[in-house]
Structure 1
Amino acid sequence: MTEDDIIRAAGCVLWRRSPVDGELEICLVHRPKYDDWSHPKGKLKRGEVPLTGALREVEEETGYGAVPGAPLPTAHYEAGGRPKQVDYWAAEATEGFFTPNHEVDRILWLPPITARHRLTQPRDRDLVDALLSALNLT
């Protein structure tokens, strides 16, 4: 197996302060193709730097810009019989507006505990904990 065999992707644990009460909220995306809830992420384009790809995917999937923060743990798993590596960052949402599309039909802004329970994959739940640690909220 070579480096070219690995599917490379990147994403962010997108967060904001609630406009209602100022509490931390995490953005989750619903992908109808898989009927799952996850953090915004996607495959890198050829030659794309992972952080650039992560921010591009956030904007494409959620409609929000983001200011990157601390790197979070990299996820390694198998997808379609091939190894996949997803690099993640904490990212604070800036201005934006969600518009449903073929990849993501819904987003939710949820408190961390609720987000952990809504996420489909256990590996994505661990990223919520990593975000809280990076923001010194644990």
Structure 2
Amino acid sequence: MTVPQKPVRAAGCVLWRRAPSGDGIELALIRRPKWWDWSHPKGKLKRGEEARDGAMRETLEETGMTCELGPELPTLRYLVDNRPKEVRYWAAEATGGSFEPSREVDRMLWLPPAAAYRYLTQERDKELVAALLSALHVTGEGL
């Protein structure tokens, strides 16, 4: 009998800002060259780290942006190399900072929600766009 593996615990943010044009919001997406994908900033929690703290730390590390956490969004659960992974997400408004490319994240884009939805590689990440818009009481034209 196999013992179920404890899930890898991770946390992240669906990072947003008010559009510079003053019309709506934009979401930050990152590209990870290791996976060649577009996703929301996230990462594994450190031993004993609270998920909220990990979400903010990972967002800062991957995007260079400080943020203010808003409502918690759905937790995503999926397998990575046959091991369960559980990622808790929060809506997070960007409050400052600037992006610097790294080996882990080589690009970041600010996109309107409908464009962000289309750019995201994983279907599960797309669900978070709708959850963010609902949490912020914003409409998502084109989703």
TM-score range, shorter chain: over 0.9
Decide which structure has the larger Cα Rg and report it. Answer: 2
Q: Distance in 1 between matches of 2:32 and 2:9?
A: 19
Q: Distance in 2 between matches of 1:116 and 1:91?
A: 17
- Large movers: runs of 4+ above 6 Å: none
Q: Distance in 1 between matches of 2:112 and 2:37?
A: 18
What's 2:120 paired with?
119
How many Å apart are 1:18 and its aligned residue? 1.6
Over the matched positions of the two proteins, sequence identity in percent amounts to 58
How many Å apart are 1:137 and its aligned residue? 1.3
Q: Distance in 2 between matches of 1:106 and 1:69?
A: 24
How many Å apart are 1:103 and its aligned residue? 0.6
Q: Distance in 2 between matches of 1:96 and 1:20?
A: 19
What's 1:11 paired with?
12
Q: Distance in 2 between matches of 1:87 and 1:74?
A: 4
* Aligned ranges 1:22-101 → 2 under 5 Å: 22-101=23-102
Aligned partner of 1:76: which letter?
A: R
TM-score by length of structure 1 reads 0.96
How many Å apart are 1:90 and its aligned residue? 0.1
Number of residue pairs the alignment of both structures matches = 137
Please give the per-residue CA displacement for 1:35-61, whole angstroms capped at 9, x wherever unaligned: 000000000000000000000000000
